[in-house]
């Protein structure tokens, strides 16, 4: 199954991230960084978030982290910078090439200011919101099983499946969350996985799509990353972009194998 650009794509959120060697004095460069990308990303916010820190000698701990969020004038595509990562994210995805070209420009401008030494991880993640009868659009192997045909079981359920598989580029993680009753939905933003809600909430969301997703819908979450293979490599933007392109190829293959021919026909 070959997917070209879909005119009715179910994508609700996309991000690409590069983990870099720590820049502990990042805050001193923020005004210069903002000036370098202000034309494309004029909006700026300083955000305090809570992050889990893992330490080999002790239990995981929660610490506060400062992030700077830059966004375009429509607040639909943005850049997130902190001491360890540079991320581009969008709630209104157009094409892969457009998104990565924007990231490439930002990486180049940031590197000219920060003189980034190394990178250690690259990842891209695509979140798809499947409205109405996910059974029609998603591979049945992703949808688990339920018991409503048995006496005593109601037709109200939440199913979550996850596949983690090694690829030539690293690891790919494919998750599906299937809700079939609005009573079991507690999250404010039901189109974005919980671990991404905080970042995504600073962009304008597609509220029309969110209104549709009140019952019987699914989230298809595909995450492809190089962690473990990129131990402290020199920060080379051309190399990083090539790796992101390879990761995207894996995302496309995973997506193609996750959907049905009916989905492809209706979304093309």
What is the extent of the structural domain holding 192? 11-267
The answer as to whether 194 is a domain residue is yes
3-state secondary structure of 253: helix
How far apart, in whole angstroms, are the C-alpha atoms of residue 93 and residue 204?
12
Instruction: Kindly state whether residue 5 falls inside one of the protein's structural domains.
Output: no
Asked whether residue 208 is domain-assigned, the answer is yes
- Does 103 fall in a domain? yes
CA distance 89 to 199: 9
Whole-model pTM?
Answer: 0.90
Cβ neighbourhood burial of 194 (10 Å; 0-12, 13-18, 19+)? exposed
Answer yes or no: is 251 within a domain: yes
Q: What is the pLDDT of residue 70?
A: 98
Tokens 């979550």, residue located: 160
**Helices 237-258 & 96-114 angle (0-180, nearest 10):** 150
Number of structural domains in the chain: 1
CA distance 159 to 218: 9
Please report the pLDDT score of residue 56 as a whole number: 59
**Dist. CA 9–CA 82, nearest whole Å:** 31
Strand, coil or helix: 102 = helix
Q: Are 182 and 214 in contact (CB under 8 A)?
A: yes
**DSSP H helices in 52-121:** 96-114
Whether 6 is in a domain gets the answer no
In a domain, 245, yes or no: yes
Tell me, what's the pLDDT at 227? Answer: 74
Task: Annotate 183-203 with DSSP letters as a single string.
Answer: GG---S-TTS-GGGHHHHTTS
- The answer to the question of residue 4 being in a domain is no
Q: What is the mean pLDDT of each run of 10 residues along the chain (268 residues)?
A: 74 96 97 98 93 66 89 98 98 96 98 97 96 90 82 81 95 92 57 88 75 74 85 93 98 97 93
What does the pLDDT look like over 55-99, one tens digit per residue? Answer: 656 677 778 889 999 999 999 999 999 999 999 999 999 999 999
């Amino acid at each position: 199954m070959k997917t070209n650009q879909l005119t009715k794509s179910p994508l609700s959120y996309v991000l690409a991230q590069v983990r870099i060697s720590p820049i502990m004095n990042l805050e001193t460069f923020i005004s210069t960084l903002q000036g370098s990308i202000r034309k494309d990303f004029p909006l700026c916010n300083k955000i305090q978030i809570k992050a889990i820190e893992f330490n080999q000698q002790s239990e995981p701990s929660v610490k506060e982290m400062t992030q700077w969020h830059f966004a375009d004038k429509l607040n639909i595509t943005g850049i997130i910078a902190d001491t360890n990562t540079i991320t581009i994210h969008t709630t209104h995805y157009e094409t892969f090439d457009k998104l990565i070209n924007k990231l490439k420009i930002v990486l180049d401008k940031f590197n000219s200011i920060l003189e980034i030494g190394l990178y250690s991880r690259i990842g891209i993640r695509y979140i798809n919101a499947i409205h109405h009868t996910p059974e029609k659009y998603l591979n049945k192997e992703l949808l688990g099983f339920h018991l409503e045909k048995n006496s005593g079981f109601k037709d109200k359920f939440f199913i979550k499946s996850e596949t983690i598989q090694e690829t030539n580029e690293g690891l790919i993680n494919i998750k599906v969350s299937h809700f079939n009753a609005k009573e079991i939905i507690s999250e404010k933003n039901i189109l974005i996985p919980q671990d991404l809600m905080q970042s995504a909430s600073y962009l304008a969301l597609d509220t029309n799509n969110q209104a549709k997703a009140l019952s019987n819908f699914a989230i298809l979450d595909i995450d492809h990353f190089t962690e473990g293979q990129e131990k402290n490599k020199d920060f080379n933007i051309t190399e990083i972009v090539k790796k992101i392109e390879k990761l995207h190829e894996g995302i496309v293959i995973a997506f193609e194998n996750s959907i049905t021919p009916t989905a492809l026909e209706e979304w093309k």
